[in-house]
Chain A
């Protein structure tokens, strides 16, 4: 809970503007889609790039994701998830699909090397515009135990399965699953995320 308070006052919760926009996108409204694009393209692209680490491929996947948002907006159910969660879950899945399929054949990582590259979070580009958000997330990540933090960031930012993550961290499968859950729960509370 620490950073929820020292991260500044949380604004009153309210449904964002994206949900009604998505409903209009579902009805074929290109203008509404353009607004959705403005709202999510940066984080979709950044996330995909983080996972794939290749600019050209990331652009391609991010584009596919955004077009999929357009195509499948009618499937968005605001009762199940926020629009942000729906779009970013989709983006992460697509990035992970890509990384896993390209990894399947060529055995990619020298496992030792992978942990060395681990500043999964520190490589984030230093853009002034989202420094506040970034700082809050960093502070909250810092409040996790090392295993929790690594489990969450390796899975999310590198697109690893929990099995791979367990191997990389050299911990039991059951442990890594638990640490992922605990880590996210701690992050949720620290960031004051409600749903």
Chain B
């Protein structure tokens, strides 16, 4: 996997830009009709979930938890031969004043969220017998069922199904590829880029989409044929409905420095100037706009590039750059959501498929590991640090506590999901057991609630 910044994937020419700029969102009577019914539905959804919102941020590739939330109290972290080039010196680390833990220096922008008591950092998150494969481990985090390669449905898609929500915007994957969390027989919207979520505006477009017994609207509602046909038709319906609803979304009201939209604007904010950073921040912006402006309850974004086998860097470098962008996003989310009055209803969950080896490898990087770090931010979050203090993180006995290479997990990731579902999205236990299969039957210290919400 690519540990270095990636410029934007597409190569639009001037002609493309003209085409896409002229591609205004859909208009017409059909749009306003669906929008009004959708507004009703959004109001219903808001009543059910109490208006609570969740944004998931998936750091793909395996984020190095040890250099994200640094155990300053453990001398082994700084011991000779452990992390000769990757170690963050104590004088650069951002001590969180909790008796051990510090943020990576690139995460300074998240300090204002932490100091407000609205950011929780949980060390040593994982699951039993965790897989060292990116693809298996990502799957387990996204389905909510570790060790089972056969379960395809994502936990967010299952949440939407359990809610029996007919709103295709109840959950939205704001990513080019639908994240597995959002995949399932209950189709929810996938909006990689709000500005591109449109057809070329002409009367024929409305006629193709149709309504009632006409056009694709009729076809999407027809009985499925073979194979994937049922899923295709449900996806079509969700597409049509989400397209019409999003076409009435007002322009975003955000401050220009919150989500800089291109490399130059990122650089002006002191952020990395790759397209990957601007694209990620645009996804976060779109996700917040959708969460604020529609009945959407769960939105998800992702950032690739955390597989730092080579040239990871310490206080500076690629890992630092990515952490800085994540921290910037957390700060902007808080500022903007406070501005629009939704911060107390918003939770932001930052996860990754695994942590990395505690020992640095021979190429200035780290290899796939086990226990990692999860972050949770929000206006109703009870901030603080978990399992990174001298009592719960024994010095000289934690860095290599699993197979003499990895950090053993202390908290199962499903316990964190469950806490969000129960206390933030107000899910009852029978529903929770469906969303996180059999969760209430699990017991042991790794499934304990941490008190993440006030």
Q: Do A and B come from one complex?
A: no
Residues on B lying within 8 angstroms of A by beta carbon are: none
Residues on A lying within 8 angstroms of B by beta carbon are: none
